[in-house]
Amino acid sequence: MLVEAKLNCPHVENDKLLPLEDFKKIILAELKCENCEEKKELWICLFCGKTFCSRNVNSHFIQHHKENPEHCLCIGAHNLGLWCYECVISKNENKEENKEDEKGCYIKSDKTDEYIKILYNYKFKKEDKDEKSEKEEKKEKENITYNEEYQKEILERKNDLCEHINGITKEQWEKSPIIEGLKDIHKIKKDLIFDLLCFSCDEKMKTYEELKSHTTKNHNIFIDMNELMIVCMECKRKFNLTLIKDKLTTEQKTFIQSIIERFPICPKFLTPEEIFEIKYNKLVKDFSSGKYKNIIFMVGAGISTSAGIPDFRSDTGLFKQLQEKYNLSGPEEFFFLDTFMKNPMYFYEFTKLFDLSQTKPTIAHKFMNFLTQENKVKYIFTQNIDGLEIKAKIPKEKLIFAHGNFIEGHCPKCKEDVDIEKINEGIDKGEVYYCPKCNGPCKPKIVFYGENLPVTFFKCIYDLQDIDLIIIMGTSLQVYPFAGIPEFANPDAGIVVFNMEKVGAYQYGKINKNNWFIQGKTDENILKFLKDVKLYGEFEKFIKDEYGEELNDIIGNEKKLMNVKDLEEEKKKVNELEEKIDHLNIKENDEKNMEKECPVDYFDEDEDEDEGDDRGEL
């Protein structure tokens, strides 16, 4: 699409534009959206260097600009275009202003040409042959001096540390001003960062000549910030920082890792397991200290699996039992409003078979009630309709049933509330209960496809600015608007996910991000977490006082139920394997029968005769 570019954008004159050296380092890294990790249609902010996806993907750059209005200039990694979110091109050139014009347009300026050249060279592997300014040439000469001499004289050693670095004790590392020097990285906006930092005095150097002149007997260990190496000028060797990890404090390791994450072209430092351990220990420390006082939960079907909820979708599940009788195309059709209005009896029969009277709340349900009684929980958003939150005695004012519940009744035709007991009587008798006002079929107040979510859901999601922690359990976060709840919350709130698989576009692997993915079975990980935060004993007492049960008995019962489910899954896999083997046997027998009817050597004789004819002619 051809578009006009604005030639006099005033925002390119801003002295806070990203330095070119910073920009070079950013585009050398793997570019992806900071929020959703999407790699298509990306825009790089020319003020902070962060990358976000376009309005054609998930509109995260638009969100970034709304949160930071001064960050209005960006360059497209996909199209090399420059865009300003604050400028407009007037539809009527004779008018100075046109209020009807929407803000945002492509721009062109000599001030930003260098960014396009750098991105172009990176994207198309083309060397930039344009003439450089005197200042750039001088800087390049310094870099050449630094790189050539330094790389020639300071050799890398990949194995053990030298005796000088190895002799530095943990206490000396703790007292070293080097970490304070590293903190300057977050303050320096221009010229990116210094190149070399002295271990003993925090002196910063830009060239190899400065390094040599600074080196003395007591000042011979340096950190190379270009490569994140530790340098010994006594031995003329450099070593990867990973070799000194054991000597560093948690704070130092965290800080160095945060630097690496800011400049991804640097070598790896901490492993994913080490990052998780540091982050998890921080979560435990903060939780134990009482930092989190306003928590919300987001939960789904995964927290009820250990309760033995009747199966729905499997080959022997409730859907299969009713599919043929009511001519239903798929499991989702159970919850289509149109289907229910035409023939409500199928749902009444399903509800009777879907007997939850014997099911009990799981450890996850009781964990939510435990924190609620500790006055730490603001809301519990649940996708579940099984009502186990009510059985767990969680106060109703804390519960937000996003997809409705079985404890209230209504008429979907006239929207009037009706007595749930009348509906339950109809379910028991196998008779549809009809609305006394409009004669429409009534049902429990669970949300069908085609119905709106409860009003309380929308009221509560706009009341999340004061929360400090979101705990997500047993949900895939694929159904909206439920999955979008964190977007309405305080942006500084931490996010903890107890789940079998990662959900959401949260940067779990970033050491400074307040989010944690705790993988595995939810109930087991909750118990481990309670032990780590020193609340296991209190939780055990709470279970006995509140429910009259022993925690060990609950754990044992849940394991039995889960073992039964695991056995059913194994049987299903065995049956599928046997079917495949039977299919292969049938195929093999068919091939043998074909051979008997039409022998292979019949064709071989023909081929031999043809070869003989050819040889004779030759």
Of 415, 356, 362, 428, nearest to 385 by C-alpha is 356
What are the structure tokens assigned to 201, written together? Answer: 């005095």
Q: Name which of 209, 138, 144 is nearest 196 in CA terms.
A: 209
Q: 């604050």: which residue's tokens?
A: 86
The residue written with tokens 């603001």 in the block is 378
What span, in angstroms and rounded, lies between the C-alpha atoms of 147 and 227? 11
Structure tokens at 419: 């007595």
- Cβ count near 185 (within 10 Å): 17
Burial 495-529 (b: 16+ CB within 10 A, else e): bbbbbeeebbebebebbeebbbbbeebbbbbbbeb
Contacts of 233 (CB under 8 A, 6+ apart): 154, 211, 212, 215, 220, 221, 222
Largest CA distance in the chain: 102
Distance (Å, whole) CA 62 – CA 45: 11
Q: Check if the beta carbon of residue 297 is closer than 8 Å to that of residue 464.
A: no
- Altogether, the residues listed in the chain come to a count of 618
What are 286's two structure tokens?
Answer: 């903060």
Q: Report the candidate in 445, 468, 440 with the shortest Cα–Cα distance to residue 456.
A: 445
Q: Evaluate whether 404 touches 454 at the Cβ level (below 8 Å).
A: yes
Q: Which residues are catalytic?
A: 403
Cα distances (Å, whole numbers) of residue 166 to 90, 233, 242, 245: 66, 14, 13, 12
| CA gap 335, 417 in Å, rounded | 19
Separation CA 112–CA 126 (nearest Å): 19
Contact 211, 233 (CB under 8 A): yes
Give the up-direction half-sphere exposure of residue 42: CA atoms within 13 A in the CB hemisphere.
22
Query: How many whole angstroms separate alpha carbon 75 and alpha carbon 413?
Result: 52
Distance (Å, rounded) from C-alpha 88 to C-alpha 6?
A: 8
- The torsion region of residue 480 among left (phi > 0), alpha (psi -120 to 50) and beta comes to beta
Indicate if the alpha-carbon torsion angle 61, 58, 491, 502 is positive or negative.
Answer: negative
Instruction: Find the distance separating the first CA and the last CA of the chain, reported in whole Å.
Output: 67
Asked if residue 412 has a cis previous peptide bond (ω within 30° of 0), the answer is no
3-state secondary structure of 618: coil
